[in-house]
Every structure is written in C-alpha cells, then in structure tokens.
Structure 1
Amino acid sequence: MSQWSSLLKLTGVHQDQVLGLYSHDLLPMEVRQYLAPWIESQDWKQGAKDCSLANVQFQNLLEHLDTQYSRFTQEQDMLQKHNLRRFKLTIQNQYQAKPQKLAELIRDVLRHEKQILLQAQEAQNQPGAPAPASMEVGEHWEIEQRVKEVKEKMQLLEQEVKFLEDQQETFHFKYNNFQVIVTARVNASDELLKTKRTELQEQLNELDKKRKEVLDQVKMLLGLCETLVVFLQKELNDWHIRQKLFCIGAPTNTCLTKLESWVTRSVEVLFQLRRLLLLLAELPLSISYELDPLKTDPPILEKRLLEMLCCLLKISFVVDKQPIMAYPCRRPLVLKTSTQFSVGARLLVNLPKLKNSMKVSYSIDKDPPNMKGYRGFNVLGPQPKALEDFQGQGLMVEYKHLTLKDKRIGPGGKGGKGANDGALSVLEELHIITFTTQFDYQGLKLDLEAATLPFVVISNISQFVGAWASVLWFNLLSSDPKDLTFFSKTPDAPWLLLADALSWQFSFTTKRGLNSDQLNMLEKKLCGTTPRQDSSVPWSKFAKENMPRLTFTFWTWFDATLNLVKQHLEDIWNDGHVMGFLSRSKEESLLDTKMEGTFLLRFSESIAEGGITFSWVEYQENGSPKICSVHPYTKRELSFIPLTEIIRNYQLLVQENIPENPLKYLYPNIPKDQAFGQYYEHRIEMTLEYQKYLKRKLIMVSERQDDAQDSIGPGTPQHNEVDVNSLIENLYMDQSTDQPTSQELDRYMMNADSDPMMSFTDAGIYAECFGDLQ
C-alpha cells in the first residue's frame, strides 16, 4: 500500500494532522493525490543535495502536471484545470531557478507524512495511551531510522571484516609458498622470485589498504553510535520528565516499549562491534608489518566503544513503577509507615541471556541530606530478587509488599520535630529508594543503579492531602530528581505551569479537566484580583497559609472539592453540567440576563470539606433580577440524596407556604430534565405489603428569606441565599404521588434500624414524609 493510500485511511486527530499539513498552497492536496505514485518514487532527499537531479525532477514534475491538465481538459473539469494551472505557474515563478528548494519542500512534506503514520501506528498499538505530540513523533522517527542505519552498517561491516579475513588468509598462503620456494630454490630463477616478491608486495599493499578501510568503517560506525546514544539519552531524560508529570496527573505517554527496543538493538550493535574489534586486534598475530594500523587503532577504538556502552547501560536501568500504596489512597509517592506499598524497576536491555541472572537489591536514603531532624527508615521486605521477563514485556523486578518502619533514633524520630527548630515539616521531608544490580555479559561487568522519585512518608492518613501537595510541587518544579533538600528553598510556581497541574488533578481523577474560566477564578484566588502574565504562586500560599478570612488553605479546599466531585458528582461533571469554580460576581453577570428559572452549579468557596450549590434567577414585580443560592451541599447530604434528585425534587416555599421548584433551565438554556433526566432514579411499583402505607418521597425544601426586598431598584440583581437547614413535613395523600425508589426505601429502613429517633434535619434529609398506617 502506498504512503498516500495509508494516509487516506486515517481518522480522527491523525486525519486532522494530514489536513493541517496540506492547509497551505505549497503542495496542494489534489496535486499530491493525482501524482502520488510518481512523487513517492522519487529520491527527493538526494534531489535536495544534487542540483542536476533536482532540475530533472522539476522538469518531470512539469510534464506530469501537463499530462494531468490534459486529462482535466478532456473531462471538462474547469475547477481542477484552474487549480493545476495556478500551481504550475507558482512553482515556475518560485523554483525554476532553484529546483533544489522545491525538492526540499516535497522531501519535508513526505517526511511529515511518515511521522503522522508512525504516530497513528503507535496509537493503534497502545489504545489506552494518549497520542504523543507531533514533535515527539518526529524525534521517535529519527531515532528509529538511526537504529536501523547502525544495524545495517554493522551488517555491512561484518561482511567487510569477513572479506578482510579471507584476503589475509590468501596472502598468508601465498607468502608461505613463497618462503618455501626461497628456502628450497627449486626450479626458481631470480626473475621468478622477483616477480613473486612484487606480487606479494602488491597484495600486502592491498591488505593494508583493506585494513585501513575497515578501520575507517569502524570509526564511522562509532560516530553514528555516539550520535544515537546522545539521542537515546535525550529520549530517556524526556521520559523521566514525562514520568514525573504523569505521577501528578499529566496526560502523557510513559510507555517504555519503543525505548526498550531502541536501547536493546543499540546495545546489541555495540557488543557486535566490540567482538569485531577484538577480532581485528588478533589479525596482526598472524601477519603484521611496519605501521600496521591493526596494532595501534583497535585498543583506542575499543576504549571509546566501552565508554559509550557503559553510558548506555547505566541509563537503561530505570524505576518504571514509582512507589505507591495499594490502599487507602491510590496516588504515588506518598507512603504511610507500616502500610504495604509496591515499586518496580526495569532494565531496557532485554537480552535473553540476562533473564533471571541479574539480582536486584534496594536501600532507602543511600545519601541522606545533612538536615536537622531528618528521619531514618528501614524498608521491610524480600531481597534480592531477579530480573524476570514478565509475559514478554521486558526484564523487570517488582516488589509488591514492602513496608516502611521508622528507626526512631534520637530527636528525629516520630514526633521529634519542633515547630521552630529549623527542621522541615514531615510533609516536606523527601526520601528515595535506590535499586542496585550488576550487569555481566560477554565479559563486561558493570554496577547499575536506579532511584525512585522522592516521596513523602506519613504516619497518619490525615496527612495525605498535605503530602500530595508536596509531591505535586516537587514534580512540577524540581530540575533535580534527587534533590532531597528541595523544600529548604522552595521556589515559587509560575501560574501558567500550576494551572496545568490543577487541571490535571481533575482530568486524571475524572474525564474532564478545568477550562480557562474555571482556572481564571482559581488564579484570582492565588494571585490576586489583577493577575499578570508572569504571575507566580508561593508554596506557602498554596498549601501552608490559610486563605483570607478562612480557616483552611487553598490546597485543602481544592482537594476536598475534587474528592466531592469524584465521589458524588462525577457523571454530571464529565457531562459539563457543573460550572464549578465560579465567583459570585461572575455568577450574577451570567444569570441576570437569563430566563427566570435558569440556574447553574458552582462550588462553595467557604467550606473546607468541599460543597456545591445551585443558584437561579427570578424576577421581581419591578422587573429587576434576583439571584438566589441554596446553602451548599456537602458529602454529608449527597451521601443520602444524589444532587440530580435534589435538583429534580427541590422545593422553595412561596406565598401561603406553597412549595414550587424554581429550577427550570440549566445555564444557558437547557431544560432541567433534558440535562439531568438520564440520572434520575427510576421509580418502582409498590408491592401489596408496602401499599398499606401512604406513599412518600425525599425532597429538599427551603424557606425563602427576603430581607429588604423593597429596597432593590429595577434592574439591580440581588444575591439572596436560601436556607436548607429547616425541616418541613408534607403528607402526600394523593395516590398518584411519585412512588419511592428502592434506594430511598433502603436508606430509610437502614437509618430507622440504626436510630429510630433519627433527626433528618441533622442528617441533611428534608421533608421525609409519612402517612398514618392504613
């Protein structure tokens, strides 16, 4: 299948990339379509270097355009004729005198096409992983090509060395024969000996030339390998950065399959080259001469190769699974003492002979910082363990049941840190686990080491939220993955960077991140009401100091809100029905021009445990809008009644205590039942046993609190909060009343069994309605 045919089969984001590639007029898509076979058959890479070839390609392109133009003329396709003629005139004006530029253009377009196809192939092989950026795919394509190139050069070099061996054996055989003739001088004239000696000299010259050619090829291959190792180093560094960000929720690809393939193939080439150098170093033992290059060059080249090989092997041992507890909180890099956690390491050199032969050991805080009060820990668990090939996924070792135990030595033990003793808090103290193993292959022995990212150790689960803030801050801002003193000089976070991290917390926990409006509201909380483009956030303001006029920090409130969404609001959050982070002033500006009954959902700014409220607009007799908000619901209320049921059955007492539901349209104008109908609880038919009772349902009821209503002028929105902390009983005698759900019955029976005198006001449940037993 041609490259163009494969591109036409792409869908989704990859199809968009193809369209973006041809969004300019440099090479119209219709030209690429009609001339696809010819375009793909040309060596545009060489044409960009060779002016004469580029000129031939340019003239051939014009001829193909003329041929296609004739076809459109016969088909009377005026539009295509016009487009083709315009393209021909354009390239004649721009590239007639410099056809190499056109060759470069087409070469680059074809290269970008290959990058898109490679990206699509990787996405297909890893359906759960996000598609990497086009630049990343371009680099991957470049590495893949270089790996293939050194592999091919290695095969050619092996053939050349084999030819050199044969050539040396031939010379050796003729030289021995000549020695026999010289010694015996049987039927050999001086002229014949002179001729034989001349032939041997010529063959020796050829042998010397071949040895130098082989060594030149070795040097060239070493140069290619050095460049490849630099590429692999950069890719591994990028992978470490991606892993750091992935640990705090970034949607990035941390798959090691490609990297393992590149590293393994590169190491194989280097070991092959090492064997050839050892072989070349042995050839002078049979035949040597003055200024023989094989007596001086191979040791130098082997030393250069070993440096490169050791560098690649050392960076190929990585921690691919960062420390994480199985429960109660599934976030990495926060560990609790006496609670099991897992961690894993991986060797990216996947050679069969290494399987089960390399033992891995671990230690914690190998080089602890010289800091006052720094705690010491022991890691309890099995060791050492061997690297194994887990289901063909690579050479890995995983420890699943490790635990940390506090050494409790001196004042640095648990509870030994004072508030003003100069030591870091427990939540700012970082620790590292280091894995060690020995690589032993084909006579090369090398100690390898890999370290985890710094993690925080807590002794109580209540410290988890603060510890996660430390992990987020470190992974976002630290440039040194082993800097255990990071929080002794904590840097500020640029808002643009921190905004991404806050959005990742939502996109990783749910399916929806934060939009620009939501982030703007959070920016004003952290950076002031008039943030600048280069605004930054201090660590203390983010997680240590209480927000103005409140008794909790920004991070405490943000994380609690995130947990509220995950536990009780995830479906409607993913649907985009929760406006979420929204200030009251912004809320008023959005609602005061909408239809009466329009409402929106936003998070409370004043509840530490996280809360959500709905606000709606209604119009007074004088035509002025009034914004009403219900007292926020927390996880306490939402554990009993889903927010969608609260919205569905919410009642507001109006004149003469007649209840009505003021919520009609979800902002901007979506009918309430259309937005939330799919989440309403389904009613069940009553059994004969339950029909002995009057029917009931759970609803939320608020009493209106109108203060100074008459003082509001026309057109001025009023923000009025209604109270939900009042209990009101309604008896539903009408048999057509909605049936209770099975969930409502179960909740009520469970609560009644546990506490017959339960107050539904205290539990956050309002209007629990009963009738007398029939």
Structure 2
Amino acid sequence: MALWTKAQQLPPDSLQQIRAIYGDHFPIEVRHYLAHWIEEKFWSDVDPSPDNPQHEQYVANLINQLIQEIENKAAVVAGQEFFLTKIKLAEAAKVFRQRYSGNPMQLFNYVRQCLATEMRLVQAVNGEGTTGLPSFIANSSSAEVMHKLDILRNRTREQAEDLRRMEQEQEAFALQYHECTKINATIQHLSTQPANQQEAQANLQKLTRQKEIMEQLLNQKIAGLMQLRLALGDKLQETFTLINTLQAQVLDEELIRWKRDQQLAGNGSVFNSNLDTIQEWCESLAELIWTNRQQIKEVDRLKQKLALDPPGVRDALAQLLSEITQLLSSLVTSTFIIEKQPPQVMKTNTR
C-alpha cells in the first residue's frame, strides 16, 4: 500500500500532524495529486551531497521534473469543483520555479523530510520498528523548521493586517474628534448669543445632542483602539518568543551540528553538507525579525501620535524593540562561519 494511502488512514491526531508539515514551502495538494510519482522518485537510499556535481545535477533534473509534473496535473484537472485545486497546483509550480531554481537541493530535502515524517507516524501507529527506513530519515528536522517558519510568516502577515486596521481606526477617530471639536466650538459660540433668538436656541439644542452622540462614539472608538493595541502588542510578543525559540534551534542545534560534522569530515568522516538549507533558514529568520521589528516601531509611532495610555503605564514596546534588535544582532554575528576547513592531520612521534 502506498505511503500516502496509509497516511490518510491515520487517527485524527496523527493526521493533524501530517497536515501540519505541509505549508507554503510544499502544499499538501501537490503531495496528494502526485502521491505515487513523489514516492517513486524521492523515496530511496540515495543521499545526494551538494558538493558532488553529479548529485547536484541529479537533484536539479528531479526538481524540474517535479515542477513539470505539477504543471501537467494542473492542466488536466477539470471541473468547477476542482477550480481552486487547479489554481493551487499552478501557483505551487510557479513558486517552486521562482524560489528553488537556484537551490533545488533545498526543495529535494523538504520533500524527503515530509515523507520521513509520514513514515514515522505510520510506523508509530502500527507499532512497527524503523527497519527498512531509508537512511536519510535519521536525525532530520527540515520539515519541522519549515513548518515553524510558515507559522511565523502567517503570524507576521496577520500582524500587518492588524496594524493596517489599527491605523485606519486611529485615522477615523482623529477625523471624528476634529468634527466633535468643531461642533463644540459652534456650541460655545451659540451659547453667547442672546437668549431670545429662538432659531439659535434650536440649533444649540440640536448640536448639543449631536455632541453627546459623537462623544459616545468617540469613547467607543477609544475602547476599541485600546483593545487593538493590547491584542497586537500581545501578538508581537508571542511572535518574538516563537522566533527566538526557532533561532535557538537553528543556531544552537542545526548550525552546531553542521560545524561538528565539518570538523569530523577533516578526519575522513562522510560530510553531507546542508549549509545551503541552514543559510535559507537564517535568511528567512532575518527577514521575519526585520519585519516584526518594523511592525513594533510602527505601533510605537501610532501610539506616540495618539496617546491613550494613562500616566505611569510601563512601555512594553520599548523593551520588546530592544530585545528583537538584539536577536537580529545575535543572528548576524552567529552566522559568520568558515565554509571550508583545512584537513586535520595527526602528527606522529610528537608529545
């Protein structure tokens, strides 16, 4: 039975984990409609090395074939009920071509790690051991890292939408506040008019009612703005925590493991470098950190433009801005490495 068929029969909890490993980097629709082809082409004991030109060409050809298969499948999918699927497949082929044409090994590894995760879950549910698993499955976390990056990208996009909505609400508040100020000035002017002017008194009563209604609306908008600020501030803090945790995983686990394997390679051990993948992760982290940093600064700018916080309230944004700036600095300084180490030779007859 095909692996994808077994995966679809997993219990709900395991099936949810299967769904979780697929995202922007590899849509689940591609996995579903090309299930047999993907398992046939990617499921093997061959562990290509990016330093081997033959392996590199093999992977490049395979990824080109994958993209072509996706485009072919998108072309033959018919029926109104499959319209969104057709668009999804076509978009996946386009994204793969743009994103991975310069680094096909990265997509190759992602696909294999998705297969590895599926196999682990299937065997865990069935109580099977790891006998017969391809060697590339061991000690791999590419799919996990990519899934976490997808989550962070989605959160960052949601924060951008929240930020735009908050700015629009603040601008609407400013316009209504200005209008209320004008009405208040008119009321003050009319109140100085002689009391026997009936028309002036009628206008005064009408404007007073408008002012009361508008002040109620302004109070509601203030409450809404405060709620938006608090919610966005909490979301930015949570995103920072997730980025910090993922950065620690990439730098303290994946990069350290790469450095250790590199050192062992100097003594003759086999070294299957995944440096290109780690570099892609670090670039994605840098982009996420920079975007979130800009969002924090923009929230602070809007707060300064319209001060609503009562006196004495601690400014959590300033601390968060300092922490995320330090996180970016740490990422930059930690990713300076020596890509090629000289061979390590043990001298004899020395003490």
**For this structure pair, what is the TM-score category when the shorter chain's length is used for normalisation?**
0.5 to 0.7
Relative to 1, partners in 2 of residues 1:114 and 1:193: Cα closer, same or farther, differing over 3 Å? farther
Relative to 1, partners in 2 of residues 1:10 and 1:268: Cα closer, same or farther, differing over 3 Å? closer
Distance 1:293 1:170 in 2: 27
Q: Which residue of 2 aligns with 1:235?
A: 254
Alpha carbons 1:132, 1:252 under 8 Å: kept: no
Q: Which residue of 2 aligns with 1:221?
A: 239
Relative to 1, partners in 2 of residues 1:183 and 1:231: Cα closer, same or farther, differing over 3 Å? same
Relative to 1, partners in 2 of residues 1:175 and 1:115: Cα closer, same or farther, differing over 3 Å? farther
Relative to 1, partners in 2 of residues 1:110 and 1:134: Cα closer, same or farther, differing over 3 Å? closer
Q: Which residue of 2 aligns with 1:152?
A: 154
Q: 2:346 aligns with which of 457, 469, 474?
A: 469
Alpha carbons 1:246, 1:254 under 8 Å: kept: no
Q: Which residue of 2 aligns with 1:311?
A: 330
Q: Which residue of 2 aligns with 1:250?
A: 269
SS in 2 for 1:235: helix
Alignment deviations for residues 44-93 of structure 1 (CA, whole Å, 9 cap, x no partner): xxxxxxxxxxxxxxxxxxxxxxxxxxxxxxxxxxxxxxxxxxxxxxxxxx
Relative to 1, partners in 2 of residues 1:296 and 1:10: Cα closer, same or farther, differing over 3 Å? closer
Alignment deviations for residues 393-437 of structure 1 (CA, whole Å, 9 cap, x no partner): xxxxxxxxxxxxxxxxxxxxxxxxxxxxxxxxxxxxxxxxxxxxx
Distance 2:336 2:180 in 1: 56
SS in 1 for 2:284: helix
SS in 2 for 1:322: coil
Matched, 1:544 2:346: no
Note the C-alpha offset of 1:248.
1.4
Relative to 1, partners in 2 of residues 1:245 and 1:132: Cα closer, same or farther, differing over 3 Å? farther
Distance 1:206 1:293 in 2: 21
Q: Which residue of 2 aligns with 1:134?
A: 137
Partner letter of residue 218 of structure 1? L
Partner letter of residue 299 of structure 2? L
Relative to 1, partners in 2 of residues 1:258 and 1:184: Cα closer, same or farther, differing over 3 Å? same
Relative to 1, partners in 2 of residues 1:238 and 1:276: Cα closer, same or farther, differing over 3 Å? same
Note the C-alpha offset of 1:172.
0.9
Note the C-alpha offset of 1:132.
6.9
Note the C-alpha offset of 1:218.
0.3
- 1:529-608 equivalence runs, <5 A: 543-544=348-349
- 1:668-683 equivalence runs, <5 A: none
Relative to 1, partners in 2 of residues 1:215 and 1:9: Cα closer, same or farther, differing over 3 Å? same
Relative to 1, partners in 2 of residues 1:111 and 1:132: Cα closer, same or farther, differing over 3 Å? closer
Q: Which residue of 2 aligns with 1:279?
A: 298
- 1:160-199 equivalence runs, <5 A: 160-185=162-187, 187-189=203-205, 190-199=208-217
- 1:294-333 equivalence runs, <5 A: 296-323=315-342, 332-333=343-344
Partner letter of residue 346 of structure 2? A
SS in 1 for 2:339: strand
Alpha carbons 2:166, 2:228 under 8 Å: kept: yes
Matched, 1:112 2:109: no
Alignment deviations for residues 232-277 of structure 1 (CA, whole Å, 9 cap, x no partner): 1111111110110111111121241101110001101101111111
- 1:139-538 equivalence runs, <5 A: 139-185=141-187, 187-189=203-205, 190-233=208-251, 234-291=253-310, 296-323=315-342, 332-333=343-344, 468-470=345-347
SS in 2 for 1:249: coil
Partner letter of residue 232 of structure 2? V
Alpha carbons 2:262, 2:341 under 8 Å: kept: no
Distance 1:266 1:259 in 2: 10
Distance 1:318 1:215 in 2: 35
Alpha carbons 1:150, 1:224 under 8 Å: kept: yes
Partner letter of residue 237 of structure 1? I
Note the C-alpha offset of 1:111.
6.5
Alpha carbons 2:116, 2:137 under 8 Å: kept: no
Distance 1:294 1:229 in 2: 31
Partner letter of residue 226 of structure 2? D
Note the C-alpha offset of 1:285.
2.5
Alpha carbons 1:168, 1:207 under 8 Å: kept: yes
- 1:84-95 equivalence runs, <5 A: none
Alignment deviations for residues 458-497 of structure 1 (CA, whole Å, 9 cap, x no partner): xxxxxxxxxx115xxxxxxxxxxxxxxxxxxxxxxxxxxx
Distance 2:185 2:334 in 1: 60
Alpha carbons 1:208, 1:292 under 8 Å: kept: no
CA RMSD across the alignment: 3.0
Note the C-alpha offset of 1:14.
6.8
Note the C-alpha offset of 1:322.
2.0
Distance 1:142 1:205 in 2: 40
Distance 2:146 2:161 in 1: 23
SS in 2 for 1:228: helix
Relative to 1, partners in 2 of residues 1:200 and 1:292: Cα closer, same or farther, differing over 3 Å? farther
Q: Which residue of 2 aligns with 1:7?
A: 39
Q: Which has the higher strand share?
A: 1
Note the C-alpha offset of 1:294.
9.5
* % same residue: 17
Note the C-alpha offset of 1:11.
5.1
Alpha carbons 2:263, 2:341 under 8 Å: kept: no
Q: Which runs of 5+ in 1 are unaligned?
A: 16-108, 117-130, 324-331, 334-467, 471-542, 546-774
Distance 2:334 2:120 in 1: 26
Q: Which residue of 1 aligns with 2:73?
A: none
Q: Which residue of 1 aligns with 2:25?
A: none
Alignment deviations for residues 353-398 of structure 1 (CA, whole Å, 9 cap, x no partner): xxxxxxxxxxxxxxxxxxxxxxxxxxxxxxxxxxxxxxxxxxxxxx
Alpha carbons 1:115, 1:141 under 8 Å: kept: no
- 1:683-702 equivalence runs, <5 A: none
Matched pairs, number: 224
Question: TM-score, normalised on structure 1?
Answer: 0.27
Note the C-alpha offset of 1:207.
0.6
Alignment deviations for residues 315-344 of structure 1 (CA, whole Å, 9 cap, x no partner): 111110224xxxxxxxx25xxxxxxxxxxx
Alpha carbons 1:274, 1:305 under 8 Å: kept: yes
Distance 1:111 1:215 in 2: 38
- 1:616-627 equivalence runs, <5 A: none
Alignment deviations for residues 629-671 of structure 1 (CA, whole Å, 9 cap, x no partner): xxxxxxxxxxxxxxxxxxxxxxxxxxxxxxxxxxxxxxxxxxx
Note the C-alpha offset of 1:170.
0.6
Distance 2:328 2:341 in 1: 26
Distance 2:286 2:313 in 1: 24
Partner letter of residue 286 of structure 1? K
Distance 2:44 2:308 in 1: 66
Q: Which runs of 5+ in 2 are unaligned?
A: 1-29, 48-113, 122-133, 191-202
Question: TM-score, normalised on structure 2?
Answer: 0.58
Alignment deviations for residues 505-564 of structure 1 (CA, whole Å, 9 cap, x no partner): xxxxxxxxxxxxxxxxxxxxxxxxxxxxxxxxxxxxxx438xxxxxxxxxxxxxxxxxxx
Distance 1:230 1:165 in 2: 33
